[in-house]
Amino acid sequence: MNLSISFKAEIVENTAITPDIFKLTLRPLDSFSEPLPGQFFMLSVSESHDPLLKRPFSIFNFKDRELQFLYRIRGRGTRLLSEKKQGQRISLTGPFGKSYPQPDKSTQEVWIVTGGLGIASLNFMINRLTGEGQRLKVLYGARTGPELRILEDIRVKEILIATEDGTEGFTGTVLDLFNSYSMNLQPSSLIYACGPQAVLSFIDQKAQERGIKAYLSLEERMACGFGVCLGCVIKTKEGYKRVCKEGPVFREGEVIW
Amino acid sequence: MNLSVMIGPLKLRNPVITASGTSGYGEELSQYFDLSLLGAITMKGISLKPMEGNPPPRLWETPCGLLNSIGLQNVGLERFLREKLPFVRRFALPVIANILGNSLDEYMELAESLDGEVEAIELNISCPNVKKGGIFFGTDRSAVAELVSAVKKTLKKSLLITKLSPQADIKEFSKIAEDSGSDAISLINTIAGMAVDIETRRPVFKNIIAGLSGPAIKPIALRMVWEAVSTVKIPVIGIGGIMTAEDALEFLITGATAIEAGTANFIDPLSSIKIIDGIKQYMNRNGISDIRQIIGSIRL
Ligand SMILES: Cc1cc2nc3c(=O)[nH]c(=O)nc-3n(C[C@H](O)[C@H](O)[C@H](O)COP(=O)(O)OP(=O)(O)OC[C@H]3O[C@@H](n4cnc5c(N)ncnc54)[C@H](O)[C@@H]3O)c2cc1C
Ligand SMILES: Cc1cc2nc3c(=O)[nH]c(=O)nc-3n(C[C@H](O)[C@H](O)[C@H](O)COP(=O)(O)O)c2cc1C
Ligand code: FES
């Protein structure tokens, strides 16, 4: 048991980027396995049995052995997490799930299609691809301009922005943005997408229509995160699959929406 | 220090078992620790034919608890024997197969095929998550008696454990299981529960009723184990909300010969190992050299 799947970490920072979006940096105190882009950890939000379950969060970044997460306050668990202070300790399990596959040699251009907190899952991959000199374009949607602050740490040359209220960039959703650019997609393009189900099912459909490969990262309620409870399944062409184990990254045409 | 316990003729290295439906077929947990450290492992409930399980949502968190409606998704007997069992057999530990049928015949066929392939068979007569089978057997006196004695007659090698439903009267049903020849009983399965989405005014689960597990059910489970150990002479395996060594010790002191940890595995895949370590520490602290000095040592 050298690399433990279950470990403790100390909070280095847990700061609000917008009133309900937080950045959390953790320094693991025990040995752990290095995560890959697209994988996630389960984080405890309480030391007691209430709330009972850990919450899944994608790895936003992994640098200098520190784990970084980006999260939005959604309910009780994420609220409790947001109240935690620097120096406090929390328990984690992970890393879990399949990572985003690397583009293959025939890939000319990578499109990252996401919005809101979906960037939390894709940023680590973006950093890796950029480091490898991969050409990539990011299409990003937010509700409103101030939420774009979460992009501060994201380093890409080409990023196209849409806001629903039109305060910045293109007016509309990331899907509207995608539609207005999609004629530039080539069969040799590759799409990575993460976001709400409506975004993913739309991208899935477009990718299939155009014969383009796409990797879609899904979310489902989870109890264990590592495949034993069978609670996080989604319907696929091959029957139910576990989002935490066979996913969270799925191929185009795989999921039955 | 001796941690080993006997479930009838079956020796367990220690009294900590992982519960059915919370440790898969051992494949996932084996990536994180050496399975042979466990007292035993219980396989996900197996039916004759593969089962797809219930549509999502399948999980709902409650205060200190978890409602699940998995619907016994499993690979079915044939694939279990061909793929899953050979894997877990690579580890030196007793394997318990949890079985579920829709009729006496199905239970019999499962028991016949698994006899000798696993150390013990745990009869699931108590799952709240499938419409047929399970729950009806579990609360019908003559059906339970008939089922247990029929399966017992079939088994030449494997031990028979009857897993009781918390929906039934425990004193009565533990006696029925014992009288019908069960080698041991285990309890409790999840408690039937429910949740409602107040915005849509619909039940959270399509099946409406789901199974509650976790710390929320521990006091009830402990009371039921107490009722069982006060009624029968066969070994009793305690299940329900066991998260820590302290929880496990409560069950052992009350008289459970072994315990199964379920939901705890979800929160931490290493929790069973931590429970074993915690029991050892307790024994050290209290100068206890044999776990049998703990089992049933409750002072009244
Ligand atoms: C693989 C994976 C990676 C994730 N990564 C991130 C991330 O990087 N950043 C982030 O902010 N969030 C992420 N999430 C979602 C996050 O786990 C949930 O927002 C969180 O569990 C909510 O907990 P809560 O107690 O605050 O909310 P709850 O009180 O449990 O629920 C509040 C609301 O959130 C919704 N919700 C709860 N759990 C989930 C879930 N698993 N998926 C989608 N919606 C949910 C509920 O339907 C409800 O509307 C991820 C989820 C998964 C499955
Ligand atoms: C997700 C889940 C799946 C389960 N599947 C089974 C099963 O297949 N067969 C069975 O007999 N019990 C099943 N159970 C019940 C557990 O084995 C155990 O009896 C119950 O959860 C109470 O213990 P706990 O509070 O430690 O979880 C399941 C429980 C959960 C939470
Ligand atoms: S969360 Fe338990 S199987 Fe996926």
CB-CB contact of A40 with A98 (8 Å)? no
Give the rounded percent of residues in chain A with a pLDDT score beyond 70. 99
Q: Does residue A169 share a domain with residue A50?
A: no
The gap from C-alpha A197 to its chain's centroid, in whole angstroms, comes to: 13
What residue of B is the nearest CA neighbor of A32?
B32
Q: Read off the pLDDT of residues A133-161 as tens digits, 9 standing for 90 and up.
A: 888 999 999 998 988 998 987 888 889 99
The beta-carbon neighbor of A221 closest among B29, B59, B266 is B59
CB B165 near ligand 2, within 6 Å = no
Task: Output phi, psi for A167, to 5 deg.
Answer: -65, -25
DSSP string across B22-37:
SSTTSTTGGGTS-GGG
Inside any domain, residue A67 = yes
Q: Which residues contact B73 (CB under 8 A, 6 or more apart)?
A: A230, A233, A240, B51, B52, B53, B54
Q: Which atom of ligand 3 is nearest to the CA of A242?
A: 4
Q: Does residue A140 share a domain with residue A224?
A: yes
CB-CB contact of A18 with A147 (8 Å)? yes
Q: Does residue A30 share a domain with residue A70?
A: yes
Q: Residue B141's pLDDT is what? A: 85
Inside any domain, residue A101 = no
The DSSP H or E segment spanning B280 is helix B271-285
Q: Does residue A203 share a domain with residue A88?
A: no
Contact A6 B268 (CB under 8 A): yes
Q: Does residue A241 share a domain with residue A131?
A: yes
Pocket test for ligand 1, best of A41, A43, A57 (most atoms within 8 A of CB): A57
How many whole angstroms separate alpha carbon A116 and alpha carbon A194?
A: 9
Q: Does residue A166 share a domain with residue A190?
A: yes
Q: Map tokens 């521990």 to a residue.
A: B218
What residue of B is the nearest CA neighbor of A48?
B64
Q: Residue A176's pLDDT is what? A: 92
SS3 state of residue B176: helix
CB-CB contact of B204 with B69 (8 Å)? no
Q: Which ligand lies nearest to the CA atom of residue A222 in the structure?
A: 3
Spacing, Cα A229 to ligand 3 middle (Å): 5
SS3 state of residue B157: coil
The DSSP H or E segment spanning B88 is helix B85-88
Inside any domain, residue A103 = no
The b-or-e profile of A82-114 (16+ CB within 10 A means b, else e) is bebeeeeebbbbbbbbbbbeebeeebebbbbbb
Residue where one domain finishes, among candidates A96, A121, A143:
A96
Boundaries of domain holding A61:
6-96
pLDDT at A55 over 90: yes
Q: Which atom of ligand 1 is nearest to the CA of A71?
A: 11
Contact B28 A227 (CB under 8 A): yes
Residue where one domain finishes, among candidates A34, A68, A96:
A96
CATH number, domain of A24, equals 2.40.30.10
ipTM: 0.94
Q: What is the SS3 string spanning chain A?
A: CCCCCEEEEEEEEEEEEECCEEEEEEEECCCCCCCCCCCEEEECCCCCCCCCCCEEEECCEEECCEEEEEEECCCHHHHHHHCCCCCCEEEEEEEECCCCCCCCCCCCEEEEEEEHHHHHHHHHHHHHHHHCCCCEEEEEEECCHHHHHHHCCCCCCEEEEEECCCCCCEECCHHHHHHHHHHHCCCCEEEEEECCHHHHHHHHHHHHHHCCEEEEECCCCCCCCCCCCCCCEEEECCEEEECCCCCCEEECCCECC
Inside any domain, residue A153 = yes
Q: Residue B138's pLDDT is what? A: 62
Contact B59 A231 (CB under 8 A): yes
Q: Residue A127's pLDDT is what? A: 92
How many whole angstroms separate alpha carbon B146 and alpha carbon B128?
A: 21
Q: Residue B231's pLDDT is what? A: 98
Q: Read off the pLDDT of residues A156-176 as tens digits, 9 standing for 90 and up.
A: 888 999 999 999 889 999 999
Question: Which of these is catalytic: B12, B40, B127, B245?
Answer: B127
Q: Which fold has domain B5-53+73-191+214-293?
A: TIM Barrel (3.20.20)
Q: Residue B223's pLDDT is what? A: 98
CB B47 near ligand 2, within 6 Å = no
Q: Residue B127's pLDDT is what? A: 54
Q: Which atom of ligand 3 is nearest to the CA of A229?
A: 2
Q: Residue A92's pLDDT is what? A: 97
CATH number, domain of A170, equals 3.40.50.80
> Domain residue spans in chain B?
5-53+73-191+214-293
Q: Residue B252's pLDDT is what? A: 98
Q: How many CA atoms does the CB half-sphere of B248 hold within 13 Å?
A: 29
What residue of B is the nearest CA neighbor of A232?
B58
Q: State both tokens at A3.
A: 């690399």
CA distances from B19 to A257, B42, B98 (A): 33, 5, 9
How many whole angstroms separate alpha carbon B121 and alpha carbon A82?
A: 46
Q: Which ligand lies nearest to the CA atom of residue B211 in the structure?
A: 2
pLDDT at A254 over 60: yes
Chain A residues in contact with B215 (beta carbon < 8 A): 49, 52
Q: Read off the pLDDT of residues B192-211 as tens digits, 9 standing for 90 and up.
A: 999 999 999 999 999 999 99
**Mean per-residue pLDDT over chain B, rounded:** 94
Alpha helices (H) along B115-169: 135-138, 141-154
CB-CB contact of A145 with A167 (8 Å)? yes
Contact B66 A235 (CB under 8 A): no
The beta-carbon neighbor of B59 closest among A44, A223, A240 is A223
Contact B21 A229 (CB under 8 A): yes
CA distances from A28 to A5, A10, A31, A37, A215 (A): 12, 6, 7, 18, 29
Q: Does residue A234 share a domain with residue A130?
A: yes
Rounded to a whole number of angstroms, the distance from the CA of B60 to the nearest CA of chain A is 8
Q: Does residue A192 share a domain with residue A65?
A: no
Inside any domain, residue A256 = no
Inside any domain, residue A200 = yes
Q: Read off the pLDDT of residues A59-87 as tens digits, 9 standing for 90 and up.
A: 999 999 999 999 999 999 999 999 999 99
Domain tally, chain A: 2
CB B213 near ligand 2, within 6 Å = yes
Task: Output phi, psi for B162, to 5 deg.
Answer: -100, 125
How many whole angstroms separate alpha carbon B146 and alpha carbon B144?
A: 5
Other C-beta atoms closer than 10 Å to the C-beta of A196 total 15
Q: Residue B134's pLDDT is what? A: 46
Mutation test of the interface with chain A: which of B52, B268, B272, choosing the one with the most A Cβ atoms within 10 A? B268
Rounded to a whole number of angstroms, the distance from the CA of B55 to the nearest CA of chain A is 8
How many whole angstroms separate alpha carbon B241 and alpha carbon A88?
A: 27
Spacing, Cα B15 to ligand 1 middle (Å): 36
CA distances from A227 to A232, A242, B21 (A): 8, 7, 11
How many whole angstroms separate alpha carbon A118 and alpha carbon A141?
A: 10
Give the rounded percent of residues in chain B with a pLDDT score beyond 70. 95
CB A101 near ligand 3, within 6 Å = no
Strands B202-203 and B196-197: antiparallel
Inside any domain, residue A218 = yes
Q: Read off the pLDDT of residues B249-261 as tens digits, 9 standing for 90 and up.
A: 999 999 999 999 9
Q: Read off the pLDDT of residues B133-155 as tens digits, 9 standing for 90 and up.
A: 445 566 778 888 999 999 999 99
Q: Does residue A126 share a domain with residue A37?
A: no
CB-CB contact of A41 with A249 (8 Å)? no
Other C-beta atoms closer than 10 Å to the C-beta of B243 total 23
Q: Does residue A146 share a domain with residue A230?
A: yes
Inside any domain, residue A132 = yes
Which of B51, B29, B57 lies closest to A219, judged by CA?
B57
Other C-beta atoms closer than 10 Å to the C-beta of B203 total 15
CA distances from A167 to A44, A177, B87 (A): 36, 15, 57
CA distances from B257 to B140, B186, B228 (A): 26, 10, 12
Q: Residue A153's pLDDT is what? A: 79
The least confident of A114-128, B102-116, B121-135 is B121-135
Mean pLDDT along residues B74-102: 96
Q: Is B64 a catalytic residue?
A: no
Q: Which atom of ligand 2 is nearest to the CA of B260?
A: 26
Q: Residue B140's pLDDT is what? A: 79
Q: Does residue A92 share a domain with residue A127?
A: no
Bond preceding residue B57 cis, omega within 30 of 0 = yes
How many whole angstroms separate alpha carbon A228 and alpha carbon A242?
A: 9
Q: Residue A187's pLDDT is what? A: 87
